[in-house]
Structure 1
C-alpha cells in the first residue's frame, strides 16, 4: 500500500507546476535590485525593507548582497553595507548600484547627510569601495560625492537619490540619478570625483530609479515613470551616453501591491534579464517589497518588448 501511494504521489508530482520563483528572495523584504556580472557569477545588490506591516514610510537600515550562477539558486551574503559605514551619513539606505572598474568594486549609494559644515542635510550620494564583489566595503572618499546643495533645480530635500553608474566603451564613466528630475555627470577615472558639470534632463514622465546601459550601438535610459503613482517602467534611447534621448514608451506596467518599482537590467549567459520589485510576498506592501526577475526581449530595431511579469520567474541559466 505504501509503495502504491508513493508511485501515485510521484506521478502527480510530474504534473504539478514548480513552486513559484518570484519573488526570488523570500526570507527578508528586499528592494531596488542592482545586478552585476563578474566572471561567471551574477551578484545582486539590494535594499532591505524592515518597516512593520502598520508603518507608512520606509525603514531601510542597510544594503545586502546575493549571488547566483543559474538565476534560480541564490547565495545570501547578508548585510554588507549601511549608512553607518559613512561618518557623514544618517537615515535610510536607499537605492544603490555596484560597478566593477579597474580591479575594484565601487558601490554608489543613496542615503541622507547629517547637518555639518559640508551640508545642511537632505539626500546625498556616497561611494564605497572594495577589492571583492562581496566586500568588505569602506567609504572611498570620506565625504559625500553629491550633496543637496549641488543640485538646486528641485526644491525638495530627497531629490539626490537612486544613482546608476555606466562605464562606456572608451572607459569614460557616467553617473545618473535623481527624483523628479534626472541629472547626469561625468566621473573621473577614480570614480570618486566629478569630471564636469552636472546636467539636468527631463525624460518624459520621469520620476526616479534610472538605469543606464549600452547594447550594440544604442544607449538605454530606463526609469520609474508615469507621472503619477503607482509607478511604471519607461525608457528612452540615445546615440550616446550624453543623449539626445528619445522617448520609447512603457515596458512594465504597475506591479502587484507596491506603488514603486525599480529596474535592474543585465545580460547573463546568453539571455537578458529584467529585475524589479513588487509587494507580492505575504504581509508585503509599499514599504515591504520583494525582488523579482523575468526575461527581457528586444525587437530587431533595438526597442524593448513589454515585460511579462510572472510568478514562475526564469528557468535555470545554463
Structure 2
C-alpha cells in the first residue's frame, strides 16, 4: 500500500495531508488535477488514449530541498479518454531510483515521453551526483517501460553530451527522433535508433530570441510545418512563443505568441501541444491551487486553433478547460465558462486546504454563472440537485444558454449556515449537449458547491 504526501504552502505555514494512493479517477476542468500539485505537462496520445506526464511540485521534508524554490522528487502519469475523467496511475519514477542522479536534489523537472520500437521512453532531467547547484550540473536521463503507465526502469547513465533541462523528443514522419533541451538557450540533436544516444552534432538554435530567459522547448509538426514552441521572459514572466520551419532542425522563423503572461503573476509556464480526436490542445500550468506561492503549480488545458496560413491563434486561459461534463456528475460551476460582471465569484471552499476545490458565491440578484458543454441523456433529467448554503435563503434558477435562455428549474435554498443538498424538479425537456446558466433570482446571497441532474 502506498501513500502520497500532499502539501500546500501558505506564506510560512505548511499544511501537510496524507491520503491513500491508488490509481483513481478524478473529475476535473482547470486545473486538471486538484489532489496534488502538478506542472510542466507533456501530453501524448498512446493507443487511442491521452496521457499527461507532468512534474510534481511538493514541499520537501524539513531540512531537505531548497526552501522557497521548486522541489520535485518524483513523477506521476495521468490518462483520460474524454479529457474530463483523469486517472492517476501513480508514481512512475523517484529521484532515489536514478543511478546517476543526486537522490537529494529535488530537481526532477519537466519531462517528456514517446513511443518507439514497441517501448515507451520517458525523458527527465535531474542533477548529476556530486554536481554543484546550478543548471550546469544537470543532464537528461531515460527510463523505459512496456506500457505508457509504467513501470519505468531508469537507464544506468544519462545521455552523454547533454547538459541541461526540459527534454523534448520529436519523432518525424520518417521515424527519425530528435532531442531538444534548454540551458539558457535551446539545443537540439538527432537521436540514435536506440533512443539513448545522440546521433549528430548538437545545434544551438541561435535564431530563437536571445534576450530574456528562455527554456522548455516543445516541437511538433502539422501540415508539413515544424513548430518550435518555448516559454520566454520577454517582459516580466514567461509567455509561450513559437517559430516555424520546414525542417525539425530549423532555422525557425519567429511567428508570435501562443499564450500571454499569466494573469496570476506565476513566473513560469511550461507546455505541450497535442492533437487528440481531431482537436488540438495546449497543456500548460498556473498556480490555481497555490495563489500565494507560485512554485506549487497546477496543470491546465485549453483548445488551440490555427489560422489558414498555419499560424497559431493565441490561446486565452479558461477555468472551464476542455472536455464535456456529464449532467449526472457533480458539475463544478466554479470552473465557469463565463459569469456576470457583478455578484459572482469563485473562491476556495477552505483556504487552508485548497485540494477541496472551490465554490461559487452569487450574492447579487440576477447575477449568473455559465458552464458550457454539459451532456444530457436522451431521456432527459427529472430532478436537479444543488449542494449549497445561504445565511438568508434564496432562489436559484437554472437555464439553458440558448437565445431564449429557457428556464428548466427553480431551486429554493433554505436559510442556514451549513451545506445541504437542495432539489427541485426539472420542468422542461433537456437533451444533448447544452450550456448551463445558474442565476440567483431571490435572496441576498447563495454559495453553490456543485450542481447535479438525475
Place the TM-score, normalised by the shorter chain, in its bin: 0.7 to 0.9
Aligned alpha-carbon RMSD (Å)? 2.2
TM-superposed CA distance for 1:86, in Å, is 1.4
Instruction: Decide which of 28, 41, 44 is 1:33's aligned counterpart.
Output: 41
Q: How does 1:16-55 map to 2 (within 5 A)?
A: 21-51=29-59, 55=67
Query: By how many angstroms is 1:197 displaced?
Result: 1.0
User: Within 5 Å, which residues of 2 pair with 1:127-138?
Assistant: 127-138=142-153
Partner of 2:71: 59
Q: Distance in 1 between matches of 2:265 and 2:31?
A: 13
Query: What whole-Å deviation, never above 9, does each CA across 1:158-209 have from its counterpart, x for those lacking one?
Result: xx00010000111111001013211001101110111011111120256001
Equivalent of residue 144 in structure 1, options 150, 154, 158: 158
Q: 1: distance between equivalents of 2:157 and 2:292?
A: 35
TM-score by length of 1: 0.85
Give ranges in structure 1 of 5+ residues lacking alignment. Answer: 1-18, 152-159
Matched residues in 1 for 2:279 and 2:49: separation? 14
Aligned-residue offset at 1:48: 0.5
Higher strand share: 2
Using the TM superposition, name which of 103-112 and 219-228 deviates more. Answer: 219-228
* Pairing partner for 1:197 from 196, 201, 224: 201
Q: Which residue of structure 1 aligns with residue 84 of structure 2?
A: 72
User: Is residue 97 of structure 1 aligned with residue 112 of structure 2?
Assistant: yes
Taking the aligned partners of 2:193 and 2:324, their CA distance within structure 1 comes to: 36
Contact 1:222/1:233, CA 8 A, preserved across alignment = yes
Distance of 1:146 and 1:72 partners within structure 2: 39
Is 2:303 the counterpart of 1:295? yes
Alignment of 1:1-318 (within 5 A): 21-51=29-59, 55-90=67-102, 91=105, 92-115=107-130, 122-140=137-155, 142-146=156-160, 160-202=164-206, 203-204=208-209, 207-255=214-262, 256-282=264-290, 285-316=293-324
Tell me the TM-score normalized by structure 2: 0.60
CA distance in 1, matches of 2:34, 2:160: 33
1:85 positional shift: 2.2
Runs ≥4 in structure 1, deviation > 6 angstroms?
Answer: none
Deviation at 1:68, TM superposition (A): 0.1
- Alignment length (residue pairs): 285
TM-superposed deviation, 1:315: 2.7
Q: Tell me if structure 2 keeps the 8 A contact 1:20–1:311.
A: no
| Counterpart contact for 2:301–2:321, Cα < 8 Å | yes
CA distance in 2, matches of 1:264, 1:284: 25
Q: For 2:292 and 2:80, how far apart are their aligned partners in 1? A: 24
Which string of whole-angstrom CA distances, capped at 9 and with x for unpartnered residues, describes residues 140-165 of structure 1? Answer: 3x111045xx55xxxxxxxx000100
CA distance in 1, matches of 2:47, 2:93: 22
**Residue 79 of structure 1: how far off its partner (Å):** 1.2
Secondary structure of the residue aligned to 1:312 is coil
* Comparing 279-288 and 234-243, the one that deviates more: 279-288
Larger RCO (CA under 8 A, 6+ residues apart): 1
Tell me if structure 1 keeps the 8 A contact 2:192–2:198.
Answer: yes
